[in-house]
Amino acid sequence: MNISVREMQGRVPVTVLGVQGDLDASNYQDLIAKATEARGAGAKDILLDMTNTSFVSSSGLVALHSIALLMRGEPPPSLDAGWSAIQSIHRGLGSGVQEHFKLLSPQPYVVRTLEKAGLIEFFEIHTDLDTAVASF
């Protein structure tokens, strides 16, 4: 998986993380680290461009949830916790749609994975980059 980072300006600055390749156990921590790095550099809003991501595993779902928590100013679950990191996803669903972390163009399989995991309504999803950036 490759991760690109770029800044775009809408009403507010938006950091766009572009993911190319599958998001799974072999690389989900890299995505969390990149989002943490962006947050540490001052990013307040992140758009995850999933145009070139055709698969997300349960570890990938943990990454998405961890970034959502990070962008809300909450500590992400310990990645060493294993199953409890996955279980923490469902405990966080009551917080509603994420304001500072959104998804761009997830592929059909990724959308089905989000639906099966009960996360589809947790994330605001856009199919147009400019509209997504303007939504922050």
**Domain made up of 2-134: CATH architecture:** 2-Layer Sandwich (3.30)
Predicted pLDDT at 75 = 81
| Domain ranges within the chain, ordered by starting residue | 2-134
Structure confidence by residue, pLDDT tens digits, 59-116: 999 999 899 999 999 887 776 655 555 555 555 555 668 899 999 999 999 999 999 9
Which residue has 């921590």 as its token pair?
A: 29
Which tokens is 54 given?
């055709």
Q: Provide the 8-state DSSP code for 106.
A: -
Predicted pLDDT at 82 = 54
Which tokens is 49 given?
């461009």
Q: What percent of the chain has pLDDT over 90?
A: 74
Phi-psi region of 18 (alpha: psi -120 to 50; beta: other; left: phi over 0): beta
